[in-house]
Amino acid sequence: MDYTKSPLWFRARKVLRYVRLYGVSRTLVKVRGQYHMKAHYAQLPACREPASSTRHVGLIGCGNFPFSNIAYYLSKEVGPVIRGAMDIDPHRAASLAERYGADYHTTDAAKLLADPQIDLVYIASNHASHAEYAIAAIQAGKAVHIEKPHVVNEDQLKRLLAAVEAAERPRMNLGFNRPLSPFGKRILETLEGQQGASVINWFVAGHEIDADHWYFHEAEGGRVLGNLCHWTDFSLRMVAAEGRYPIRIIPTRAAASDCDIAVTYVFGDGSIGAITFSAKGHTFEGVRERLNVHKGNVLISLSDFGELVIDDVETKKRYRPWLRQHGQRDAILRSYTMSTKGGNAAGMDINYVRQTAELFLATRVALEDNQEVVLEAHSAAPRLTPRKV
């Protein structure tokens, strides 16, 4: 939905609501992001590109999310560290570079990857290009942050993992943010303290998008890989690693395979997860989501990251933050610590990188074929193609 074309009264109400939910600075950057997407220069601004720059971060993809999240949090929490901004749209690359003081903007990703001053690359381009850019960046010796989804098919996953395994010093993080939010961390810590299987239930109301939106292009993976992967990832993390496999994936759908759908997971330890994804119209506050989890003596309820309730027998704890936090800040800054000039933290465990990708790829297969599949544990002979039932 293009909010810049909405009536003034609607825009004013939305801004006021977002100030209450996210604070003034986050709301302002969200507003700027809407206009950034329409940026157009009669003549593109010149690049500074000083040889002695202390900036050392490259950004591939300069759409709304990197403008209002990646660049915003880096600038706010770390400082002016973005050296190069790349996008296939030169106006978006220039707009982000100008707003955040990058040394240069370009439409050529190879320029960023060949830049010796860049040691960390954030990848937030179109989904089908994520793994391709990441592989090239890893092979160039860069630390890499990949926004979701990190792959769109089995071949990309195999080649990405091979690049990580072959790297002399592999450093890669994924942009799944919800488990890194304050509420996400508390949920995972609470569940770790309980015994037995879990019952996990998500209801998600997403945005309706036009049929010709690039998310629906065959190569991009659709909304299962573009949206649903957030909740397949979080559900996977809520099940103990030793009890995940095999995973039965049971789809429920009508005509479409990635809008207005439901999918149920039965994990190896008996845990059950269910995700319902509705995409009808537009919600005033953006994506709406509700989670209920039951494990052991604990009952957890999460509503739009605005309220978390944890019941443990006779004890009930209710958490309501002043401002909502979905974990983007923590995901972005965690990756910054991988860079040689920001720290020496290692990247994500390669088994997790594989498992979360295999789950959303297998989920897509189940929904597209409208048939139950079983995802087996990874073995020495990789086989992602799920077993149909």
Higher-pLDDT residue of 125 and 381 is 125
On whether both 18 and 164 belong to a single domain, the answer is: yes
Establish if 340 belongs to a structural domain. Answer: no
Q: What is the pLDDT of residue 342?
A: 46
Q: Show the domain range for 75.
A: 3-174
CATH number for position 200: 3.30.360.10
In contact, 39 and 95? CB cutoff 8 Å = yes
Q: What is the pLDDT of residue 14?
A: 84
On whether both 237 and 299 belong to a single domain, the answer is: yes
Helix, strand, coil share of the chain (percent; to 5): 40, 20, 40
Binned at pLDDT 50, 70 and 90, residue 190 comes out as very high
On whether both 269 and 190 belong to a single domain, the answer is: yes
CA distance 71 to 84: 11
Q: What is the pLDDT of residue 381?
A: 35
Neighbour tally for 208: CB within 10 Å: 15
pLDDT at 111 over 60: yes
Which residue type sits at 259? C
On whether both 143 and 241 belong to a single domain, the answer is: no
On whether both 186 and 233 belong to a single domain, the answer is: yes
Which of 150, 174, 198 terminates a domain? The answer is 174
In contact, 311 and 298? CB cutoff 8 Å = yes
Q: Give one DSSP letter per residue of 90-125, joined into a string.
A: HHHHHHHHHHHT-SEEES-HHHHHT-TT--EEEE-S
Establish if 242 belongs to a structural domain. Answer: yes
Across the range 190-206, mean pLDDT stands at 95
CA distance 74 to 382: 37
Which token pair is 128?
């089908």
pLDDT at 196 over 80: yes
Residue 219 burial class via C-beta count within 10 angstroms: exposed 0-12, middle 13-18, buried 19 and up:
exposed
On whether both 167 and 182 belong to a single domain, the answer is: no
Across the range 358-379, mean pLDDT stands at 92
In contact, 335 and 181? CB cutoff 8 Å = no
> pLDDT tens-digit profile of 148-161?
999 999 999 999 99
| Structure-token match 């303290």, residue found | 193
82-86 vs 57-60, strand pairing mode: parallel
| 98 contact partners, CB below 8 Å, separation of at least 6 | 45, 105
Least confident of 59-63, 195-199, 257-261, 365-369: 257-261
CA distance 286 to 22: 12
Q: What is the pLDDT of residue 384?
A: 43
Q: How far is C-alpha 85 from the geometric centre of its chain's CA atoms? A: 20
On whether both 198 and 87 belong to a single domain, the answer is: no
Establish if 68 belongs to a structural domain. Answer: yes
List, in sequence order, every residue forming a beta bridge with 25; answer none if it has no partner. none
Across the range 204-216, mean pLDDT stands at 75
298-303 vs 307-312, strand pairing mode: antiparallel
On whether both 159 and 37 belong to a single domain, the answer is: yes
Rounded to a whole number of angstroms, the CA Rg of the chain reads 21
Helices 24-36 + 8-22 axis angle, to 10: 140
On whether both 223 and 252 belong to a single domain, the answer is: yes
Percent residues over pLDDT 90 in the chain: 75
Establish if 38 belongs to a structural domain. Answer: yes
Establish if 20 belongs to a structural domain. Answer: yes
Q: What is the pLDDT of residue 338?
A: 82
Which of 174, 190, 214 terminates a domain? The answer is 174
What DSSP character marks residue 343?
A: -
Higher-pLDDT residue of 146 and 280 is 146
> pLDDT tens-digit profile of 21-42?
899 999 999 999 999 999 999 9
Q: What is the pLDDT of residue 214?
A: 63
In contact, 186 and 213? CB cutoff 8 Å = no
Q: What is the pLDDT of residue 123?
A: 98
pLDDT at 386 over 70: no
Establish if 245 belongs to a structural domain. Answer: yes
pLDDT at 347 over 80: no
Across the range 187-192, mean pLDDT stands at 97
Phi, psi angles (nearest 5°) of residue 364: -60, -45
List, in sequence order, every residue forming a beta bridge with 363; answer none if it has no partner. none
Binned at pLDDT 50, 70 and 90, residue 73 comes out as very high
Which of 139, 174, 209 terminates a domain? The answer is 174
CA distance 323 to 143: 31
Q: What is the pLDDT of residue 259?
A: 86
On whether both 26 and 119 belong to a single domain, the answer is: yes
In contact, 96 and 62? CB cutoff 8 Å = yes
Percent residues over pLDDT 70 in the chain: 93
pLDDT at 349 over 90: no
Establish if 343 belongs to a structural domain. Answer: no
Burial 135-165 (b: 16+ CB within 10 A, else e): bbbbebebbbbbbbbbbbbbebbeebbebbe
On whether both 82 and 194 belong to a single domain, the answer is: no
Establish if 243 belongs to a structural domain. Answer: yes
Binned at pLDDT 50, 70 and 90, residue 122 comes out as very high
Residue 340 burial class via C-beta count within 10 angstroms: exposed 0-12, middle 13-18, buried 19 and up:
middle
pLDDT at 382 over 50: no
Q: What is the pLDDT of residue 389?
A: 54
- Mean pLDDT over all residues of the chain? 90
CATH number for position 120: 3.40.50.720
On whether both 208 and 353 belong to a single domain, the answer is: yes
Per the structure, how many domains does the chain have?
2
In contact, 389 and 370? CB cutoff 8 Å = no
